[in-house]
Each structure stands twice: as C-alpha cells, then as structure tokens.
Structure 1
Amino acid sequence: MSGWFSRQRSLLDFAVSSLARRKGKTLGLLAVYGLIVFVLASAMLFSHALRHEAKQVLAGTPEVLVQRLIAGRHDLIPDTHLVTIRAIRGVKSAQGRLWGYLFDPAAAANYTLMVPPVDAPAAGQAVIGAGVAAVRDAAIGDVMSFRAHDGALVSFTIQAIIEPESALVSADLFLVAEADYRRLFGIPDGRFTDIVVTVRNPREVRTVAEKIDAALPDTRIILRDEIRRTYESVFDWREGMVLLLLSGAVLAFFIFAWEKASGLSAEERREIGILKAVGWETADVIALKSLEGLVVSLAAFLLGYLLAWLHVFQWGAPLFEPVLKGWSVLYPDFRLIPHVDELQVATLFFFTVFPYTLANVVPIWRAATVDPDQVMR
C-alpha cells in the first residue's frame, strides 16, 4: 500500500512540475475556469443565503392572515369579523392590524406605515427604520410632515430609529400611534387593514382557516406556508433569470471542455511520445495527464468558490444584489449570514470539475496508444 501511495505522489509531483513548465497556459486556464466557477457559485450562494434569511424572517409571520375582499379587491375589515373569528373553535387569538404605504415626495420613496401591536409610539411621534433615516437624513428629535387624506399637514417627531441589524425587515418602516394612523388615512374606528389569527394547535391551522372561510365568505385567508411558497417562487424565478443571463458563461465552459476533449497540442503530444519512449506504460501516461486535469480543475474550483464566498458574504455581492434582492429606493443594507447547502456545492462540483477532468481522458488515450516514434515525428 505504501508503494502505491509513493507512486501516486510521484505522479502528482510530475504532473505539477509539468503544469509549471507551461506556466502561461496553466494560469490562463485557471483564470477562465475559475471565473466560470465564480459566477455560478456566486449566484447559487447568494440566492440560497437569501432563501435562508427569508425562512428565518417568515418564521415569525402570522399563522393565519384574514383580509376582506370587495369586488375582488382588498378592503378594510370591520371589527365585527373579530368577534366571529374569536368564537371559532381552535382560535387562540385574533387581532386587527393597521398598516399601509405612504409615499414621501421628498425622498421619492414609499414607506411602510404601521401601528405596532405593542409599545406603539406616543401621539405625534414616530419610530423609523434605518432606510427611512438614511434617505431623509433624519435623526432623533427631527420632525417629518406628511399630507393627510384631506390635505391637512400631519407632523411626526422622530422618537427612535430601529437598529440597522434588522434592516432586512425594518428599513422602510414608519411606526406611529393608532390615532395618527387613522388621522392620516381617514380610517374610522372599528376598521382594520387585516386580522392576524393565532391557532392553538399548529396542526389544525388549515382546519381553522377553512372554518373562518366558511363563516366569513367575503374574506381571503392567507396561510404562512403559502407566503413561504410565494417567496420561494420569487427567488426561484430571480435565480433562474440570473442563471439564464449566465448561460453564455456555462455554454463557453462546455465549449472549452469539448475543445479540450477534441485533441492535444503538439507540445503535449510530443511530451507523451517521450514518456512512452523512455518506458512509461499507457496506463501511467493516462494517470499522469488525468492528474494534471484534476489538479487544474480542483484548483480552479477552490479559487472560484473562495472568490464567490468573499463576493457574497464579505463584499455584499454587488454583481447580483439588484437582481436577486429587488429594486427599491429604500434599499435594505444588511450582511448575509453564511449558509451553504452541501447538495448545491456537490452539484456545482460535479458539473464543473468532472466534465473537464473526464474530457482529458479520450485525447490522452489516443495519443498514448500511438507508436512513440510516430507521435514525436
């Protein structure tokens, strides 16, 4: 066994020295190969990390969301629906929510105006997200004013700014008191944007949703699982769009591998002929050249994957951020938590390393089975 390892180590040393003799070609090969791995790995790492972040965020969303529909459009829901929902067996709690969107002409951006269920700001005060503070250059104690539904001016004093660590979900938030919210939009008492329902037994969520739908035919029931699937579909669509744009790079890689399989250069054929002339067996030559291809492909994969890791988790993925995150004036500035899917890495490894490594075998076998004198001539 030690003799076999010694032989393999010798072959590996010879393969590395052979690649070093063709330094320019090897470095160019590594650059092209590594670049292809880099763009593909960046798209996969970024989209998977975003999916993981979305799952963490959606874990805290309501189990059941009830909205009222009139003529197929979302409408305000009356508090009488709260009484009906709370009377349904299996419902733990039901609470009306007040939220909406407010356009700010000064920043040309939409804010998510919301009344928090607990610890709401005092009347005339507001708590804003880091994105709102940045786009308006606002600080604690500053005053922001908006036109109400009747044209009157409603002013808010900034009470606090939400920490930027939660910018993924709070960048555009504008939290106000219930009275200020109703004054701004002209919403009367006893009306809510939607209703959040908590179910006693998580396994009965769908059953409770069906009961609510039967008791309130004018409502639309949205489950947490449905929201999660919607986000998954959005990320799948955006990742597919990015990979479609990168299909040229993928095609170039397969052309590159095919060109490698189509034949060897005159210098490589001459080297194989010399090795055969000095007594190397065909199997040894194939093993040597396969090791060369494996060294190049592994080095390119590790280099490309490392650069993709730095690009996504250290530098913020500037190449793919606008496409996979979305477009917005209030862009959430946050650092993704490194999260890697082993199956995804294995798939990328298989489709980038194996094709190139196997592509070396056929032309090497052809050259190694020809008479050495004929090869060198």
Structure 2
Amino acid sequence: MTACGGGSDNNEPAPPAPRVSAVKVVGDSLSDSGTFGLKATIQASADEPNVLWVERIAKSYDLAPLCPVYRLDKIDEVHGMTFAPNSQPGCTNFAIGGGRINNTLRDGGAEGELSVLRQLRDAGTAGWKATDLLVADGGGNDAADLVGAYLGAPSDQGAAYMTLLGTVIPSATLQAVLAGPNGLETAGGLYMQTLADSFAASIRTNGLDKGLQQALVANIPTITYTPRFQAVLALVEQAGGPAVRAQAEGLFKGWVNAFNQRLAEKFADEPRVKVMDVATRFTSFVAQPQNYGLSNVTLPACGAEWIPDSIVPHREFADCTAAALAATTPPPGSSGSDWWKRFLFSDGFHPTPYGHQLMGEQAVDLLGQADWR
C-alpha cells in the first residue's frame, strides 16, 4: 500500500547511465592538449579550453576539459625528447605533438611516449571502463617522414628512404618488392599498410582485448593539401615541371590511401570501432570550402617561412594568438580583424580552431550514428 498524502518518486525510472563517462586520447599534435605547454593551433581563441577536435568531443559529453597525461621533461642531443607524468590528476589525453606509429630511435623508439603504440599500451595499462571512449589518430607524421625521405633520395642516394622502409618491412619482403616494377614507390605503399596493421593491432591488443567497448579512430588526412606539402610540390614542379609534380602528388596520395584503406579493412567487421574518414572530408574542405563556411584553404593564418611577411607574418605557435592575428593587416582577399577565423590552416600542417570545429562536428555526428551518445 502507498502512503496517503504526497506523491512518491520511488517508481520513477532512473535516468539512463551515461554512454560515455571518459574520453581517452592517443595520437599526435592534431590531438595533443598541451604536452608542450600549448596546442598546435592558434592560441588564446574564444574556443579555449575546448579547441581541438578531441576536446570538442569531450565537451559534447559534458565532460571536464581534457589535459595531457605527459609533460615535456627535457630535450638533449643524444636522447631527444623525454617526458614525465603530468602532476595534474585526472588527465586522459596521451597524445603528444610529433607522435608517430613508427617512432624514431632518437626519441625512444617504440618504448618512447612519442610512439602512438606506447601511448596505447599506457592507456591499456590504466584500464578501461565500459563507458570509456578511445579517440585515436596516428600516421600523419609517418606519412610526412616517408615523403621527406623519398624526396631526399637524389641527395643521399636513397639511404634515408631505404633505412626507413627497413624499420618495419622484413628484409626479404622489401628486396622482393624493390625488384618489381616501380619497386621504390610500391615499397612506400607497403610501408604505410604495415603501419596501419601495427596501429590496428595495438588498438585491439591494448584496447578491445582489455575491455574497451567504444573507439573512434581517425584516418590520415590527405597531407598533400596542406600548405607545407603544397610548397614542397611547388618545388618539385619548379625542378621537373607540372607532369612530375602531378606524378609525385598522385604517389603521395596513394600512400595515404594505402594506410587508410588498410585501416578501414581491419575494423570493417568490428562494431566497437568506428573509423572516421578524415581524408575524404578534408578533401571536401579544400575542393568546396564554401560548403563549410571556410574563407581560405591555402594560406596558413600564422604564416610560414616560405610565405613573405608582407602577405602574412610568420609566427610560431607561442606567438600566434587570436589577439595578434586580430591586430595584423589582413592578407589579400581578407578583411576585418576576424579575417583568420574561417581559415582552415593555422600553420603549414595544422588546423585553426575553426578547422578543429569542423572535425569535431564530423566526429560527434559519427558518434551519434553509432548510438554512442
């Protein structure tokens, strides 16, 4: 029997448990919330503290702002960069600017924190709850390393390129590929596929096999569209002509596609993992900027060493603040103190806060489609 008088809430259904109670991140500068004391984008914007795409994901779940798990400890000529645990409690962002799937020995190799595979191991060691969401990116710096080594082959007889390939491709396999048609170029695609295999295997071993139920994995953006690589391709064209440039650009896009296709294949039948197709969306940003509210997709708002200061001053990230840009004479084709706000690129390789907003919106849409909201 129920008591007379006032109503009772005992029969009211309990609110649904949160689908996501923590966002845990691994990756590189695209996702690093401040390991080096700043983020790889324009500083002190109105979007702070949720500027990066991964931070916007956390905000969409009404979670506290992300903070870095590691902090830069020191840099020396022998050991490169070393890192220490962040003393701030509750941090879940393992990503570090400069992170790679195939990390160089100088920065600790596979055991160094700059290794995305090491980051995944650390996240797995910390453990997973059913309501954790892993957000992972990786491979962009690896692709840039591969392109740089390939383009440097005329000056070092291919030594750096061959050394890089040999770090992940077994010698017998590599020699067989090199002996075939277009062997050097084909080996680059195999290198990127091998990295995708390693990335996917680490997500499975350190995440899914340890209880992770939800993972959002970003593929590699088409890096050839970045101002940095457009400048590189311009030098290729200057040296060899438009046809050589087109051939090189097609090759480098093919390498990125090789990684992305293999990554998608690895998780095609895995309901706990959603692969976010950053590459296709990024290409759309460049091809149809008006559809995304973008005002410029070629010029970095913070400038670059290859761009005259008369167009836009070159600023390092520490000095590239919203206030500094607002006080800068707008580059040709732009006007007003907000000229930079709808640019896609902050520097030659990284998005502006608005670029991150667009990425964050894509991620949140995908999470909603997965019913992970």
Q: TM-score if structure 1 supplies the norm length?
A: 0.21
* Higher relative strand content: 1
Bigger radius of gyration? 1
* Higher relative helix content: 1
Q: TM-score if structure 2 supplies the norm length?
A: 0.21
